[in-house]
Amino acid sequence: MGTTFLTAVRGRSGRLLHAAAAALTTPLLPADYLALFDPLLGGRWPAGRVESVRPETAEATTLVIRPGRGWGGFRAGQYVPVGVDIDGVLHWRTYSLSSAPGRPGEPFALTVKALPDGLVSGRLAQDTGPGTVLRLGPAQGDFTLPEPLPERTLFLTAGIGLTPVMSMLRALARRQGGRNASAGDVVLVHSAPDRAATVFGRELRVLSRRMPWLRVHLHHTRTSGRRLTPQRLSAVCPDWRERQTWTCGPGPMLDALRQHWHEQGPAVERRLHLERFRPALPAAASGAGAEDGLIRFQRTGVDVPAGAGVPLLRAGEAAGVAMPSGCRMGICFGCVASLVQGRVRDLRTGEITGEPGTLVQTCVCTAVGTVAVDL
Amino acid sequence: MSVQTIPRPAPEAASPGPASYGPASEEARARAFGEALDLLRQEVIAERGREDARYIHTLIALQRGLECGGRAALAISLLPPAWPAGTAMLTTAKILENMELGHNILHGQWDWMRDPAINSATWEWDFPTPAEAWKHTHNVIHHTFTNVVGKDRDLGYTILRMSPDQPWRPAYLAQPLYAALIAPVFEWAIALYDLEVDAVATGRKSPRALLRDLGALGRKAVRQAAKDYLLFPLLSGPSALPCLLGNLTANTVRNLWAHTVIFCGHFPEGAQSFTEERIEGESRGQWYVRQAQGSANIEGGTVLHILTGNLSHQIEHHLFPDLPSNRYAQIAPRVRALCEEHGIPYTTGPLLRQYTSVWSRILRLALP
Ligand code: FES
């Protein structure tokens, strides 16, 4: 009681002090000045510093990151936008956190797999040493465990899709103190090419030995020469229909699982929780050329066919979306919107860009194939 | 990175003497000019990278350092050397903040870095006009309708007659007086001007929108004024009065400087104004031509360019308002060469000459 009161007073006087300092730095914040000394001090644009780097497999790496001020923590299973400076440009990508949530300010872990031509994933997984500063967005996503925990849980993962589930398992292990069986009954079925390519393989074996509530089944596709099919799932986890299931992995796998659960009827389907690393977009209208696609206005919930050479601004306006605009010719930046997915062509230069989070000028950019914008 | 050569324009466009053009070849000339500029723009965009990012980060650090230094010195400005040192630092900080940072970041020049901390959508400046309001009147209206009589409100800021195409009214007789009076309080004049009260009268802006903008301006202006004229002086204890005077000086000098640079950008001899008919169905090439003809540069060294926020390269800025400011100096010789090649005047001169030229225009156009 006493400490709560003290914290409240400290919190209150801290806020007053901050408001007073902000009156002196207006229109900036005191944090903007502090960030000059160390980006981790500037709470307005949170950042973290890589403390250590640990290889998991030949392609996947875990980065342990100490977050600076202003970063709000996360729940097990969530992902976080990370801004990586490459040649002066911050490239933003989201990655699932693999560590269990700790106390505020405690380091957390990201596990990143280098994609074949992934500019950012390659840089993070292979080329980022301790001391590197990364920018952080707020953790997000609702691929998390409910409270209270379900009695029976199934985790169904493949490849790097294990990351968010690893965070949940670690959180459960920490919470249960390792001995208490009230985490319910948890089965993890994880598919990876072979033993060497299994992320967290050793830790999973240790966990399953120590935690009575956890059963781990590792499926190695390359060694066994077989994919993990629904039939095989029934063999390792016969009661899968009754379990709350969390699954994360490649898109085709998720599609197949969803179909399979769907066929069991709504009661079973409701128990399936999916996490996609990329949101699914509807395919282009049939019969359309390769360049044709769709513009999805995410917030408005409107889909418009992407006419060749038609600026996003005009396509949106024609569909009744409230589009911000100004000069309508690419000079005022009054029309920018954040790209959620897909690629756009700048009509002035022909340049094609397509990174999630890029701000695009909708008046001079046209969709290349299917895109989603945050409008 | 390699510098690619700009292809020469079509031969007809390179032949001398604008007088020899009919409307058709005029259009061909504009097109060739525009295409060459588009190539130049692409070249700079392809090269943009780490060095440019370092430039803006350095400038931000320098500006914030100068501001802290200036504030600290003015807090003890009862001690004789502290006052001039503090005032000089704060003045420089305010000039950099206003021109090289605020103006250019709000143009989206640094949005390509995808850093929310240095982005036109999030930046707010140390100036009474809220960034949102400014982006509308400046980036949209002024940059789209540069020097078009009846469209570009910056052409005389609704109170001055800066083009012979503006009809004369007796009130203009006093314009040398009020042009001089607004210079030291330029930031407040701009803040009022950005409210677009005149647009309410013509129906282009609703009274409701005016009230909303007035509220936004009021909130921001109070904070701005309180900081410089109340809080910092109070914190300075015995140095309150010199601190207040230092802050007043810094703001006034910044205003005089901004006024000078901005007036030299569009109003010296040689910078043209245009009629509304001229921009009907304007092509991209013609738009470029108008931007070049309606703007004027100031010659000088690197320090002058930085202190003007590179608006000394007003022509380059108006051709490419969203290219990073540190690139204007680099492309200026090539823009100038292209202008010469295509028979488009390139107005430039040293600061004093441009400034004198602006004032002679103000005086001349005060009369019918
Ligand atoms: S509307 Fe002005 S840049 Fe797009």
Tens digits of residue pLDDT in B155-190? 888 899 999 999 999 999 999 999 999 999 999 999
Categorise residue A373: left if φ over 0, alpha if ψ from -120 to 50, beta otherwise.
Answer: beta
For ligand 1, the distance from its centroid to the CA atom of residue A335, given in whole angstroms, is: 5
For ligand 1, the distance from its centroid to the CA atom of residue A345, given in whole angstroms, is: 15
Q: Which of A266-280, A281-295, B5-19, B45-59 has the highest mean pLDDT?
A: B45-59
Q: Does A365 contact ligand 1 (Cβ within 6 A)?
A: no
Residues of B in contact with A35 (CB under 8 A): 117
CA distances from A314 to A92, A320, A367, B4, B134 (A): 27, 10, 12, 34, 25
From A148's Cα to the closest Cα of chain B, the distance in A is: 38
A1 pLDDT more than 70: no
From A19's Cα to the closest Cα of chain B, the distance in A is: 12
The pLDDT value recorded for residue A6 is: 52
Provide the Cα torsion B123, B127, B128, B131; round to 10°: -20
The pLDDT value recorded for residue A290 is: 43
Among A86-90, B19-23, B98-102, name the one with the lowest average pLDDT.
B19-23
Confidence class for position A321, pLDDT limits 50, 70, 90: confident
CB contact under 8 A, B136 and A326: yes
First vs last C-alpha separation in chain A: 46
pLDDT digits (tens, 9 = 90+) for A179-208: 554 668 999 999 999 999 999 999 999 999
Contact B332, B18 (CB under 8 A): no
Decide: helix, strand or coil at residue B39. Answer: helix
From B321's Cα to the closest Cα of chain A, the distance in A is: 6
Interface test with A, best of B64, B114, B154 (most A CBs within 10 A): B114
pLDDT digits (tens, 9 = 90+) for B338-351: 999 999 999 999 99
Q: How far apart are CA A268 and CA A241, in angstroms?
A: 6
Q: How far apart are CA A108 and CA A233, in angstroms?
A: 32
Among A1-15, A66-80, A217-231, B182-196, name the one with the lowest average pLDDT.
A1-15
Q: Calculate the average pLDDT of chain A.
A: 87
Q: How far apart are CA A306 and CA A303, in angstroms?
A: 9
Contact B182, B258 (CB under 8 A): no
A348 part of contact set with chain B, CB < 8 Å: yes
Confidence class for position B23, pLDDT limits 50, 70, 90: low
Mean pLDDT score, B108-136: 93
The pLDDT value recorded for residue A324 is: 87
Instruction: Identify the burial level of B230 via C-beta atoms within 10 angstroms of its C-beta, where 0-12 means exposed, 13-18 middle and 19 or more buried.
Output: middle
Q: Does A335 contact ligand 1 (Cβ within 6 A)?
A: yes
The pLDDT value recorded for residue A7 is: 58
For ligand 1, the distance from its centroid to the CA atom of residue A306, given in whole angstroms, is: 19
Contact A214, A186 (CB under 8 A): yes
CB contact under 8 A, B139 and A88: no
Confidence class for position B306, pLDDT limits 50, 70, 90: very high
Mean pLDDT score, A220-227: 87
Mean pLDDT score, B309-319: 98
The pLDDT value recorded for residue A178 is: 47
CB contact under 8 A, A327 and B117: no
Confidence class for position B131, pLDDT limits 50, 70, 90: very high
A282 pLDDT more than 80: no
Q: Calculate the average pLDDT of chain B.
A: 91
Q: How far apart are CA B120 and CA A80, in angstroms?
A: 24
Confidence class for position A227, pLDDT limits 50, 70, 90: confident
Helix (H) or strand (E) holding A361: strand A359-361
Count of residues for chain B? 368
A and B: number of Cβ contacts within 8 A: 110
Contact B81, B89 (CB under 8 A): no
Q: Does A325 contact ligand 1 (Cβ within 6 A)?
A: yes
Token pair of A173, please? 């292990």
Q: Which of A256, A260, A252, A254 has its CA nearest to residue A273?
A: A254
Q: Which residues of A35-64 are buried (b: 16+ CB within 10 A; e: fewer)?
A: beeebbbbbbbbbbbbeebeebbebbbbbb
The pLDDT value recorded for residue A9 is: 58
Q: Which of B43, B45, B39 has its CA nearest to residue B338?
A: B39
CB contact under 8 A, B54 and A89: no
Residues of A in contact with B45 (CB under 8 A): 349, 351
All residues at 6 or more sequence positions from B149 whose CB lies less than 8 Å from its CB, including other chains: B155, B163, B165, B166, B273, B274, B275, B276
Confidence class for position A328, pLDDT limits 50, 70, 90: confident
B18 pLDDT more than 60: no
Ligand 1 atom index nearest CA of A332: 2
A104 part of contact set with chain B, CB < 8 Å: no
Ligand 1 atom index nearest CA of A363: 4
Mean pLDDT score, B111-132: 92
DSSP B79: S
Give all strands (DSSP E) within B182-312, no chain letters. 296-299
Interface test with B, best of A28, A91, A331, A339 (most B CBs within 10 A): A331
